[in-house]
Amino acid sequence: MLDPRWNTFLVLCETMNYTRAAERLCLTQPAVTHHIHHLEDHYGCRLFTYEGKVLRLTEAGLRLREYTRSLAYNSQKVEEAMAAPAPVSLRVGASKTIGEFVIAPKVERFLREHPEASFSLMVDNTQVLLRALEAGRLDFVLVEGFFERNRYETRLYRQEEFFGVCPPGHRLAGRAATMEELEDERILIREVGSGTRAIFEDALRRHNRTLRSFPKVSAISDFSTIKALVVDGLGVSFLYAPVVERELAQGTLARFDLADTPMSGAFYFACLKDNLFARTWADWLE
């Protein structure tokens, strides 16, 4: 059972406002303040400080937040495991490429093996999912792109090809294009925070470029819309192989690569550090 003062601390970390934390916890604001002061007295350090009127975590507060997130998660899962009866419960987060084009067979197998299970799948971009994981709203996530892996317990899930797509018959189709050639095209790219966008921006950095180097860039969060626009000749995009597998086989899209710029991406399993169930969840993906 998690000490309620740690729970108060975590809620305050999330809201960064004593009044909102008290409302969420159904406590008075003085009670929230008392819980925080107790922890500060116990650890002999300040956990929060004000910069003007803005509440900030201190370095000690940041460390305690990392420790207590895993404790809170494990405490919750132990309570669930000890309940009688205790149906299987699983809350998964998946970045959009994985959630829409990769994970379906794993979900189907899980639901067949656990027909009484409580299951939820949250599909969003990598940064949104990691915030939900840290807040204890997800058991684990499957994410792409770049993130601070040392903050989590991680395992490589799979490696995928990443390349450009254009209409068949396009001047770039089936060959390696230079950065100069790409400048003449409208670039259809995912939103900030997505792993797909991060992979492409990393490739640009290897050429000392950014998206600002291209006069025509459109940010679109939906894969179906991106692919439809490319098919209609309204731009080119860069996507993982599973996203366009069907279109390439049907001949409605064609592949091209960036000259002297090999691109690929890794999909990672990630959960909170010291998660008691990490091995169980990771094994489920095998």
Predicted confidence band at 1 (pLDDT cuts at 50, 70, 90)?
A: low
The CATH number of 89-155+269-284, from 3.40.190.10, 3.20.10.10, 3.40.1410.10, 3.40.309.10, is 3.40.190.10
> Would the pLDDT of 232 be above 90?
yes
Domain(s) labelled CATH 1.10.10.10 in the chain stretch across: 4-72
Q: Name the region of 223 (left: φ>0; alpha: ψ -120 to 50; beta: rest).
A: alpha
Specify the 3-state DSSP secondary structure of 52.
coil
264-286 pLDDT, tens digit each:
889 999 998 877 777 777 777 77
Q: What is the pLDDT of residue 140?
A: 92
* Tokens standing for residue 22: 């008290």
Q: Does domain 4-72 have CATH number 1.10.10.10?
A: yes
Q: What is the pLDDT of residue 273?
A: 85
Q: What is the pLDDT of residue 3?
A: 76
Predicted confidence band at 245 (pLDDT cuts at 50, 70, 90)?
A: very high
Predicted confidence band at 72 (pLDDT cuts at 50, 70, 90)?
A: confident
Q: What is the pLDDT of residue 65?
A: 87
Average pLDDT, the chain: 89
Q: What is the pLDDT of residue 82?
A: 63
Question: How do beta strands 217-219 and 140-144 pair?
Answer: unpaired
Average pLDDT value for residue range 155-181: 94
106-156 pLDDT, tens digit each:
999 988 988 888 899 999 988 899 999 988 899 999 998 788 898 898 999
* 14-23, 68-77, 147-156, 190-199: least confident range: 68-77
Torsion over CA: 56, 62, 64, 69 (sign):
positive
5-20 pLDDT, tens digit each:
888 888 898 899 999 9
Cβ proximity of 223 and 239 under 8 Å? yes
* Tokens standing for residue 111: 């639901």
Q: What is the pLDDT of residue 87?
A: 54
Distances (CA, A) of 64 to 59, 60, 70, 126: 9, 6, 10, 24
pTM, to two decimals? 0.67
Domain(s) labelled CATH 3.40.190.10 in the chain stretch across: 89-155+269-284, 159-265
* Nearest CA among 240, 238, 265 for reference residue 166: 238
Average pLDDT value for residue range 182-198: 91
- What DSSP string runs through 131-192? HHHHTTS-SEEEEES---GGGEEEEEEEEEEEEEEE-TT-TTTTSEEPHHHHTTSPEEEPPT
Question: Whole-angstrom Cα distance, residue 158 to residue 276?
Answer: 23
Q: What is the pLDDT of residue 249?
A: 96
Question: CATH class for domain 159-265?
Answer: alpha beta
* Nearest CA among 1, 3, 29 for reference residue 15: 29
Q: What is the pLDDT of residue 4?
A: 81
Average pLDDT value for residue range 249-275: 91
86-96 pLDDT, tens digit each:
557 889 999 99
Cβ proximity of 200 and 238 under 8 Å? yes
